[in-house]
Amino acid sequence: MEVKLIINGTHYKFAADPDEYLLDTLRKLGYKSVKRGCDTSSCGVCSILVDGDLVPSCSFLTVRAHNKPIITVEGIQLEARKIGEMITAEGVEQCGFCSPGHVMAVYALMRENTHPSLNEIKHYLAGNLCRCSGYEGQHRALKKLMEVK
Amino acid sequence: MSVNKGIPKVDGMGLVLGKPAFTDDLAPRDALIVKVMRSPHAHANITKIDTHIAEGLPEIKCILTYENVGDVNFSRAGQGFPEPSPYDHRILNKTVRYIGEPVAVVAGHSEKAVDLAISKIIVTYDVLEPVIDFESAIDNSIVIHENDGTSSMFEIGHKPKRNIAAGYEMEIGDVQKTLESCDVVYEGRYYTQAQAHAMTEPHSCVSYLDQQDRLTLITSTQTPFHVRRIVGKTLNLPLSKIRVIKPRIGGGYGGKQAIHGEFFVSLVTIKTGLPAKLIFSRKEVFTASYTRHAMRVDVKIGSDKEGHIKVIDMDILSNTGAYGEHALTVLMVAGSKTLPLYNKVDAVGFRGDVVYTNLTPAGAYRGYGAIQGNFALESGIDELATLLNMDPIELRRMNMMKEHETSEIFEIMGEGQEGTAMTIESCKLAECLEECLEKIDYYKKLEQVHEDPNKVTGVGLAIAMQGSGIPYIDMGSAILKLNDDGFFNLLVGATDIGTGSDTILAQMAAETLNVPVDKIIVYSSDTDLTPFDTGAYASSTTYVSGHSVRIAAENMIKKIETAAKVYFESEDVCFNGMDITSGESSISLKDFSTKLFYSENQEQLVSSGSYVGTKSPPPYMVGAVEVEIDVRTGHLDILNYVAVVDCGTTINPNLARIQVEGALLQGIGMTLYEEVNYTELGANRNNSFFKYNVPTRMEVKAMDVTFVDSYEPSGPFGAKSVGEIGIDTPPAALSNAIKNALGKRMTKLPIRSEDIWRKLNS
Amino acid sequence: MKCLDIKMPSDFEEAYALLNSQKKATIIAGGLFLRLQKQTIPLLIDLSGLNLDYIKEVKDGFIVGPMTSLRTIEKSNLPTALKESVKQISGVGTRNLATIGGSICGRYPFSDIDNALMALNAHLIFYKSGKTSMRDYYQNGLEDKDILIEIVVPKPGFSMIKYYKKVYTDFSLVNVSLADNDVAIGARPNRSMVVKNVDLNLSSKIILEDVEFGTDFQASGAYRRALAEALLDDILKERKAFYGS
């Protein structure tokens, strides 16, 4: 089925199977920041924005993204760098496999809520798993980034 | 000063920005998709396997079964040669021994084509009864490894007819006699489960033939050199024809310290000439990669009535699943990295058997036996204190290891073989203990009563030790190359699996050379381009690989000075990192290096360093946890976990802290949340993130990790390793906290809220 | 999930015709659970073009479109039991995709949303079979395939849900909702059932004494009962505070 995809501002005409998911489509088109980590929509490493909403790309059918703006980390490198500066200052991006998904979630959070409390940050990111860091370092970094009192 | 600095990781920003760096990101676009057809039975013989329909399907290039992959035995364990693990595995086995074991491997041009082909392979099984209960494995009438050519490289207690993969025993002094002479003896039995690593990147590997027909593997592995050797030996390929490249790895914790898909992609590439890629699904990671060794630990601790511990005895039954990777060594570490904590005993005994069962194979996992042994030992110490009517903290103070002491165990127990005697030159257990008690306000919390009648609070503590590499076995090396413009390439075999080893090794090189860290460009873990390193395990990188980097840097300084002597025509030269001076003259390193390339007395300066440890100085840790338990439901909340660590110098304090925090949460997960339930037929019920609960960021309210001032004279810049120590204390600390809060001892992991509730209502 | 075709109808008549065009034609809402199915679906019917994503406040309740996402529900001012029921379902990303309609039509025994809707005594409007209660549909399903087009949620005086999860985003071991005097207990592990017109002065033990709790590998029935009693106690405590004792 022919789909019109708008990825980070670039328009594509893409031939997708009806059961193809955005995760695979995006990786095929070279957007390697989007990762696969599980098979139950549980881990958050595939997070992207579609039409402004944070969604798991592993569970979003490509044909349903027709004409909807899609954002991956490749499309928000300036904002990602800003977030990254805080994160790398703590050393908390360890293996980095969950990092792009986290960046997308933090970016989405900041668009929804400019000054969240620590609990709001934690709740928003609860679906982004990290097995390396123990999360504490992330919270230290995000508290600084979002100026949590 | 470059060490003891919390600088950002050299690869950090790239990871955050999502740059392609992991195995699947680097796979050639046209790589064949390789998938595995897996056994639905826990124990069966394949009597017939018919692939002819599948082979004829469109886009299918290659199908492997036990009939066309040879029958060479090997061990998949990523360990130094000769491996202390049995050679009980073949590339594909005719007898399948766990649900999920590979039966056929299919390679094709698309995933859909491969899925269809797999569905058309017809396998006839002679289904056998499985052994699921590891406590009934020894001398069971069902023999799991029979007539399959299994053997061991040297004596490891391998008795497959009895379903024993490995065994070990040792005794210092007379355990029985000493027990009889004690005023008080505690005896307890503890169980731990087959924890899953649950790293976010599933096992992934890619292979292709390069322009010179050399087999090249890009694989998510902790041990690239071991992979090269095992693949080469088993496929009868000269090692010179193989290259293994380790890209960025999405987590390992021991789960990638063994062969996973490398044989399958290699054979597909060799047979078809085409690139191939195999990415595990999450379900395959749970059921068909590796797990932690589940163990039953019997511990006896005896003392006089004043609390002097006279004897400790530990007897372990360890479950290695269908194959024996890391069987002996994990068993031994359960004793060798716990028992020396109480080194003033007159006698100590340790023995154990590692049994086969028809379950997912167990392998290496952070802590590597120490966490299982620590659970039993440190719970036992608190129980002994209760019997003695003594403060368990005081009991520890009286008996625990101190600086400049030793333990006879170091000499006797190595990893798979004899150990190495060692005097402990840095041990800040006492300082860690005092600081931990103060930070968590231990004695106040012990007495605290919750105002809500439904809630009880408690506090519990445990101490732990680990190691820094395996002496006389783990070797690491480094090469430094000086470039024009005054920067260096640092080539190391050391395997950064997300831990930041690339970064700390750059810091150590920079420190020695007295240059800024950004003058060191690190490239790691490529068997063609980097020198050898055993890999990321046994907490060896900081200590062993670190030394090799220091040596390479020291050698580089000598080379620079020698070349400078020629340049200045004088014996009197001095290199300070920025410039080389001789009397009144000086030249910057930047200019000198450029001249060395292009203008005068041209020479490429290269230095190397190689190191094998002669001891394994343990990092130490004290962990204390404050809990709140709802007595109506047994629900336990962690209010605060305080950890104080002695790892000598922290090369990068930020990264060391994250290592401990991450390990702590993994240990907490193992203690409270991560369940492993098997059906009677050996199917894993917890085979997805739906059912396998890794802790989220909401589970722990607060974590406080600090490092005490410490310096290990034998370590690079005074450092010891820190990769594993963080995981060891939660099981005992939490069990002790529950005991203090409720008066009930929990002896089985994970400690579910229902288990606490049952104890409260029994 | 494997599927052969997907269509996006522009009105209910078209959607209904597509649904009946093949035996295994299936409506896709969020698609989260559909994704996990092994069998090949010949036709998926995507209702995204029917403007079913809305929450309308009316005199004594709310009308909710079935394609309303769980995240929208989380941020809405729907009754507390319903609003709270979505908060710990997976992560924000999943909740942006998953829909209330999908949770209802799946009739999942573990569903926290269904549990809240049962207590609230919500009503459902189906395209062909018309109005039915959540309590009836959740227990019995429908005879013939149909399309859910509207959900009617009353406004109770007080409502609350509490659940027990091993970790924050886990499935519930048991869930309990209260809406005025109706208590719903679910994930027991069976589907939510309702105890109606409860005397809230009674102990939770007595209120729940006729509820059956079962055992599976996650928890025993006896433990689920203990959990449910504690959760109900906590709800009653909050209700007391809400009304001011």
B102-129 residue pLDDT tens:
999 999 999 999 999 999 999 999 999 9
Write out chain A residues lying below 8 Å of C97, CB-based: 55-56, 59-60
Alpha helix segments (H runs only) across B346-421: 370-388, 392-399, 409-412
pLDDT at C148 over 90: yes
Closest by CA to A82, choosing from A38, A146, A21, A130, is A146
Pick the CATH number of B475-612 from 3.40.190.10, 3.30.365.10, 3.10.50.40, 3.90.1570.10: 3.30.365.10
Same domain, A55 and A100: no
Write out chain B residues lying below 8 Å of C167, CB-based: 673, 693-696, 698-699
Task: Using the Cα atoms of residue B397, residue B403, residue B406 and residue B407 in order, give the sign of their dihedral.
Answer: positive
| Span C160-180, average pLDDT | 98
pLDDT at B87 over 70: yes
Give the burial class of B449: count Cβ atoms within 10 A of its Cβ; 0-12 exposed, 13-18 middle, 19 or more buried: exposed
Q: Which of A72, A91, A126 is at the close of a domain?
A: A72
Residue B128: the pLDDT is 98
Nearest CA in chain C to A128: C91
Give the burial class of B702: count Cβ atoms within 10 A of its Cβ; 0-12 exposed, 13-18 middle, 19 or more buried: exposed
pLDDT at C189 over 80: yes
Give the domain range for residue A18: 2-72
Same domain, A38 and A87: no
Write out the two tokens for A89. 């200052």
Interface test with A, best of C96, C166, C171 (most A CBs within 10 A): C96
Tally the C-alpha atoms within 13 A of residue B92's C-alpha that lie toward its C-beta: 21
Nearest CA in chain A to B661: A134
Same domain, A61 and A120: no
What's the pLDDT band for C245 if we cut at 50, 70, 90? low
Q: Which among B633, B685, B753 has the least Cβ separation from residue C217?
A: B685
* Torsion angle (degrees, nearest 10) of CA A66, A72, A75, A76: 130
In total, the C-beta contacts within 8 angstroms joining chain A to chain B are 180
Q: Provide the CATH number for the domain around residue A68.
A: 3.10.20.30
Same domain, A66 and A19: yes
Neighbour order of strands in the sheet with B606-612: B520-524, B488-492, B475-482, B606-612
Write out chain B residues lying below 8 Å of C227, CB-based: 633
Same domain, A114 and A135: yes
pLDDT at B442 over 80: yes
pLDDT at B347 over 70: yes
Residue A107: the pLDDT is 98
Q: How far, CA to CA in Å, does B108 sit from each of B35, B91, B136, B407?
A: 9, 20, 43, 57
- The reply to whether residue C92 touches residue A18, judged by beta carbons under 8 angstroms, is no
Same domain, A68 and A87: no
Q: Which of A37, A72, A107 is at the close of a domain?
A: A72
Same domain, A112 and A94: yes
Nearest CA in chain C to B632: C230
- The reply to whether residue A56 touches residue C93, judged by beta carbons under 8 angstroms, is yes
C44 against B538, higher pLDDT:
C44
Q: How far, CA to CA in Å, does B70 sit from each of B73, B229, B594?
A: 9, 17, 54
CA distance B717 to chain A (A): 21
Rounded Cα distance, A16 and A25, in Å: 8
Question: Mind listing the pLDDT tens digit for each residue in B448-469?
Answer: 999 999 999 999 999 999 999 9
Question: Mind listing the pLDDT tens digit for each residue in B42-51?
Answer: 999 999 999 9
pLDDT at B136 over 70: yes
What's the pLDDT band for B415 if we cut at 50, 70, 90? confident
Q: Which of A38, A72, A106 is at the close of a domain?
A: A72
Question: Mind listing the pLDDT tens digit for each residue in A126-149?
Answer: 999 999 999 999 999 999 999 887
| Span B342-367, average pLDDT | 98
Residue B303: the pLDDT is 98
- The reply to whether residue A59 touches residue C96, judged by beta carbons under 8 angstroms, is no
Tally the C-alpha atoms within 13 A of residue A147's C-alpha that lie toward its C-beta: 4
Write out chain B residues lying below 8 Å of C233, CB-based: 632
Which residues of B lie inside 8 Å of C (Cβ-Cβ)? 454, 630, 632-633, 635, 673, 677, 685, 690, 693-699, 752-754, 757-758
Q: What's the CATH number for B294-469+615-760?
A: 3.30.365.10
Same domain, A48 and A80: no
- The reply to whether residue B18 touches residue A38, judged by beta carbons under 8 angstroms, is no
ipTM of the complex: 0.98
Could you tell me which chains touch chain B, where touching means 3 or more CB pairs under 8 A? A, C
The average confidence (pLDDT) of chain B is 97
Write out chain C residues lying below 8 Å of A41, CB-based: 32, 35, 90, 93-94
End-to-end CA gap in chain C: 53
Write out chain A residues lying below 8 Å of C96, CB-based: 53-55
Task: Using the Cα atoms of residue B489, residue B490, residue B496 and residue B502 in order, give the sign of their dihedral.
Answer: negative
Interface residue C108 vs chain B (CB under 8 A): no
Nearest CA in chain B to A129: B696
Residue B345: the pLDDT is 98
Q: So what CATH class is B12-128+200-251+256-288?
A: alpha beta
Write out chain C residues lying below 8 Å of A64, CB-based: 6, 46, 48
Coil/strand/helix, residue B412: helix
Rounded Cα distance, C131 and C129, in Å: 7
Residue B209: the pLDDT is 98
Q: Which among C5, C32, C91 has the least Cβ separation from residue A126?
A: C91
| Structural contact between residues A6 and A54, judged by C-beta atoms closer than 8 angstroms | no
- The reply to whether residue B497 touches residue A96, judged by beta carbons under 8 angstroms, is no
| Span C55-75, average pLDDT | 97
% pLDDT > 70, chain B: 100
| Span B60-89, average pLDDT | 96
Nearest CA in chain C to A56: C93
pLDDT at B566 over 80: yes
Could you tell me which chains touch chain C, where touching means 3 or more CB pairs under 8 A? A, B
Residue B147: the pLDDT is 87
pLDDT at A97 over 90: yes
Q: Which among B454, B673, B697 has the least Cβ separation from residue C166?
A: B673
The residue written with tokens 């480094």 in the block is B478
Residue B418: the pLDDT is 85
Q: Which among B630, B633, B693 has the least Cβ separation from residue C167?
A: B693
Interface test with A, best of C92, C110, C165 (most A CBs within 10 A): C92
- The reply to whether residue B13 touches residue A99, judged by beta carbons under 8 angstroms, is no
Nearest CA in chain C to A106: C92
- The reply to whether residue A40 touches residue C36, judged by beta carbons under 8 angstroms, is yes
In total, the C-beta contacts within 8 angstroms joining chain B to chain C are 37
Q: Which among C168, C171, C229 has the least Cβ separation from residue B696?
A: C168
Write out chain C residues lying below 8 Å of A45, CB-based: none
Same domain, A68 and A81: no
- The reply to whether residue B697 touches residue A96, judged by beta carbons under 8 angstroms, is no
Nearest CA in chain B to A88: B8
Q: How many CB atoms lie within 10 A of CB B703?
A: 22
Report the number of distinct structural domains present in chain A: 2
Question: Mind listing the pLDDT tens digit for each residue in B547-559?
Answer: 999 999 999 999 9
Question: Mind listing the pLDDT tens digit for each residue in B234-247?
Answer: 999 999 999 999 99
Same domain, A50 and A12: yes
- The reply to whether residue C226 touches residue B630, judged by beta carbons under 8 angstroms, is no
| B462 secondary structure, DSSP code | E
% pLDDT > 70, chain C: 100
CA distance A121 to chain C (A): 11
Interface test with C, best of A46, A48, A59 (most C CBs within 10 A): A59
| Span B182-201, average pLDDT | 98
| Span C219-228, average pLDDT | 98
Nearest CA in chain B to C3: B112
Coil/strand/helix, residue A27: helix
Interface test with C, best of B115, B452, B632, B694 (most C CBs within 10 A): B632
- The reply to whether residue C31 touches residue A19, judged by beta carbons under 8 angstroms, is no
Same domain, A109 and A90: yes
> Domains along chain C?
2-48 (3.30.43), 51-245 (3.30.465.10)
Question: Mind listing the pLDDT tens digit for each residue in B528-540?
Answer: 999 999 999 988 9
pLDDT at B145 over 70: yes
| Span B560-586, average pLDDT | 95
- The reply to whether residue A126 touches residue C3, judged by beta carbons under 8 angstroms, is no
Residue B679: the pLDDT is 97
Residue B179: the pLDDT is 98
Residue B414: the pLDDT is 86
List chain B domain ranges: 12-128+200-251+256-288, 294-469+615-760, 475-612
Residue A93: the pLDDT is 93
Write out chain A residues lying below 8 Å of C87, CB-based: 123
| Span B420-447, average pLDDT | 97
Same domain, A15 and A64: yes
Nearest CA in chain B to C226: B633
pLDDT at C214 over 90: yes
Write out chain A residues lying below 8 Å of C93, CB-based: 41, 44, 47, 54-56, 105, 127
